[in-house]
């Protein structure tokens, strides 16, 4: 989630790059004892940077310090390099900074590498850990099991008897959030005597009982069933054959040329008696890919070759292209196999490939054959398998990939109608075809992890929590795809702006930063929890009465007696969530855990 927020903020910076150096004082000649370096985002992001900056300014005010923040430039992925961060660390040191505050896991590497070189500055790293303690670095972490416990308890006491958690086996904090969530929900269920079912799925588990793959298939219909006037197109030495309605714009592409040949031009012929050939309306007779505007007649379109000297481009052991000597050709790597992703090209001619890191690129040949070897590696990002029936485009893809699919030519008496896609659970895939009514089209692969939450909601789950991992936004995405009202439970900060948010369990950076700076100790870890006021659930109060401006006792509408007791029990230690093995969880009388494993 932090990454997605940062990517958005990079776009903002592209327009507003002049705001990178700002602070709480307009006098740039002053020294600043306290400096906050953001993760590339703004201090008005409504999330982590803003909460951290609030803590910095509050402490600075109470300690009589000058403070400012720096906003480094992030790359297209929302990441900030150590070299970029160091520019601002040096600025802070030159400005006599005593403390430098940074937040988030992606800043941990920068702190780890830079702190030894700037030993006379004290660093505070929020919501992240270092591999080893450093004398001038204090870290802030949060009790994720307590946070998960509060989220689980709140989900049930708000009246939900079917809840869900989507976690990650590769993320330690996710496991802690998940364990706490189940125990908090179980505590509430047993306290209320209400049967509760909790679905639990680790989206990246090898034994997950769920299949992300989906199938795309062309739908054909009988020509006689079409109510519009149709025309038959026959493409020789190319693709595009079929029966189409009048006015359709059809993409026609020549096949790869045979050895010793190259594409020269298109030859068109009317197949309808009495209609001249010139009525066949193509956009270009010289381009190997062009458009046909269907109408007036049936037709035959033929790709005509010319004799040339050709060389071969071998792409791995699957494809071979015959191309004209001293020419440039667009080459695409075959789709990756499951869980793999394209990494780079290897070629015996180092000058042939325009971009060795792009899966599709221009390849320039001379008068010699060349071999291109696409190299695939195991993907760190999630991959999703696509099966194209009666067409091409099958493969394994990651979020953001553009996938082209081409339907097979229809049998006689049939015509292409549209594409359909469905996942193996019978749910919508969420992908959007550029043109679902065109036999050749493409789509952008999307994050399919939201499909787990969709499945949960489809099976009756009322609220899903996803604390502690990078797929949190997927849950909110899923809530908008369900026809009835369902909710996501946020974490980290108040996520009510996301919509369909039941509530959020908050890691209060502001309070944690003020507390840590007030008693700064290098090489130590400050743990934010209920006891020090660094964890709470939005809209759930532990205090029944408060004083208004006139000193009168007023009842807090958000007060919940059960929540208050649980919160205070977490404070005094009478409730201690533990890191249990959820696969063997059976300690609740009223909660049933449905653990999604094969």
Closest CA to 487 of 466, 501, 475: 501
Token pair recorded at residue 488: 């996501």
Per-residue tens of pLDDT for the chain, all 598 residues: 444 444 333 443 333 333 344 444 444 557 899 999 999 999 999 999 999 999 999 999 999 999 999 999 988 778 899 999 999 999 999 999 999 999 999 899 999 999 999 999 999 999 999 999 999 999 999 999 999 999 999 999 999 999 999 999 888 899 999 999 999 999 999 999 999 999 999 998 888 998 889 999 999 999 999 999 999 999 999 999 999 999 999 999 999 999 999 999 999 999 999 999 999 999 999 999 999 999 999 999 999 999 999 999 999 887 899 999 999 999 999 999 988 999 999 998 889 999 999 999 999 999 999 999 999 999 877 788 999 999 999 999 988 899 999 999 999 999 999 999 988 877 778 788 999 999 999 999 987 888 899 999 999 999 999 998 877 888 998 899 899 999 999 999 999 999 999 999 999 999 999 999 999 999 999 999 999 999 999 999 999 988 888 888 889 899 999 999 999 999 999 999 999 888 888 889 999 999 999 8
Residue 581: the pLDDT is 85
Q: 59 — alpha (psi -120 to 50), left (phi > 0) or beta?
A: alpha
CB 247 within 8 A of CB 294: yes
The 3-class SS string of 212-231 reads CCEEEEEEEEEHHHCCCCEE
- Residue 570: phi and psi, rounded to 5, are -70, -35
Residue 517: the pLDDT is 98
DSSP string, 213-280: -EEEEEEEEEGGG--S-EEEEEEESEE--EEEETT-EEEEEEPPPPTTEEEEEEEEEE-STT--GGGS
10 Å CB burial of residue 235 (0-12, 13-18, 19+) is buried
Domains of the chain are 2-141 (3.40.50.2300), 144-209+450-506+533-595 (3.40.50.2300), 311-378 (no CATH)
């Amino acid at each position: 989630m932090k990454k997605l927020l940062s990517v958005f903020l990079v776009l903002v910076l592209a327009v507003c790059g002049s705001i990178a150096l700002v602070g709480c004082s307009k006098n740039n000649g002053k020294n600043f004892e306290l400096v906050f370096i953001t993760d590339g985002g703004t201090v008005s992001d409504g999330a982590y940077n803003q909460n951290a900056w609030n803590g910095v300014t509050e402490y600075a005010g109470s300690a009589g310090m000058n403070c400012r923040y720096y906003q480094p430039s992030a790359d297209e992925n929302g990441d900030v390099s150590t070299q970029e961060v160091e520019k601002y660390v040096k600025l802070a040191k030159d400005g006599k900074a005593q403390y430098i505050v940074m937040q988030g896991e992606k800043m941990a590497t920068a702190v780890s590498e830079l702190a030894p070189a700037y030993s006379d500055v004290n660093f505070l790293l929020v919501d992240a850990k270092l591999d080893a303690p450093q004398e001038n670095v204090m870290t802030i972490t949060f009790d994720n099991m307590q946070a998960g416990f509060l989220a689980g308890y709140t989900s049930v006491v708000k009246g939900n008897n079917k809840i869900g958690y989507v976690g990650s086996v590769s993320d330690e904090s996710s496991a802690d959030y998940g364990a706490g969530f189940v125990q908090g929900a179980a505590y509430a269920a047993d306290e209320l005597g209400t049967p509760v079912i909790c679905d639990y799925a680790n989206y990246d588990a090898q034994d997950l009982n769920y299949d992300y793959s989906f199938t795309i298939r062309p739908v054909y219909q009988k020509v006689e069933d079409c109510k519009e006037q149709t025309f038959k197109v026959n493409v020789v030495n190319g693709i595009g054959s079929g029966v189409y309605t009048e006015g359709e714009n059809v993409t026609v592409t020549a096949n790869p040329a045979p050895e010793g040949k190259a594409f020269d031009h298109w030859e068109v012929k009317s197949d309808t008696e009495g209609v001249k050939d010139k009525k066949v309306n193509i956009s270009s007779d010289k381009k190997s890919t062009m458009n046909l505007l269907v109408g007036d007649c049936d037709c035959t379109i033929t790709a005509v070759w010319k004799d040339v000297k050709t060389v071969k481009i071998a792409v791995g052991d699957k494809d071979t292209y015959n191309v004209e000597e001293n020419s440039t050709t667009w080459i695409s790597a075959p789709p990756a196999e499951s869980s793999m992703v394209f990494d780079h090209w290897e070629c015996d001619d180092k000058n042939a490939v325009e971009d060795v890191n792009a899966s599709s690129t221009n390849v320039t040949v001379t008068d010699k054959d060349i071999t291109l070897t696409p190299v695939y590696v195991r993907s760190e990002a999630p991959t999703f398998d696509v099966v194209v029936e009666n067409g091409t485009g099958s493969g394994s893809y990651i979020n953001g990939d553009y996938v082209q699919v081409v339907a097979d030519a229809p049998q006689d008496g049939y015509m292409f109608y549209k594409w359909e896609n469905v996942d193996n659970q019978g749910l919508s895939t969420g992908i959007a075809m550029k043109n679902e009514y065109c036999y050749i089209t493409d789509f952008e692969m999307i994050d399919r992890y939201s499909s787990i939450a969709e499945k949960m909601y489809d099976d009756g789950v009322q609220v899903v929590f996803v604390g502690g991992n990078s797929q949190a936004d997927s849950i909110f995405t899923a809530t908008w795809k369900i026809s009835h009202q369902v909710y996501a439970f946020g974490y980290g900060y108040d996520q009510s702006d996301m919509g369909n948010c039941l509530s959020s369990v908050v890691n209060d950076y502001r309070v944690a930063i003020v507390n840590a700076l007030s008693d700064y100790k290098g090489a130590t870890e400050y743990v934010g929890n209920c006891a020090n006021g660094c964890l709470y659930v939005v809209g759930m109060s532990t205090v029944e009465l408060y004083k208004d401006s006139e000193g009168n006792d007023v009842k807090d509408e958000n007060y919940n007696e059960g929540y208050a007791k649980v919160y205070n029990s977490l404070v005094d230690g009478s409730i201690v969530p533990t890191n249990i093995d959820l696969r063997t969880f059976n300690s609740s009388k009223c909660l049933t855990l449905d653990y999604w494993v094969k």
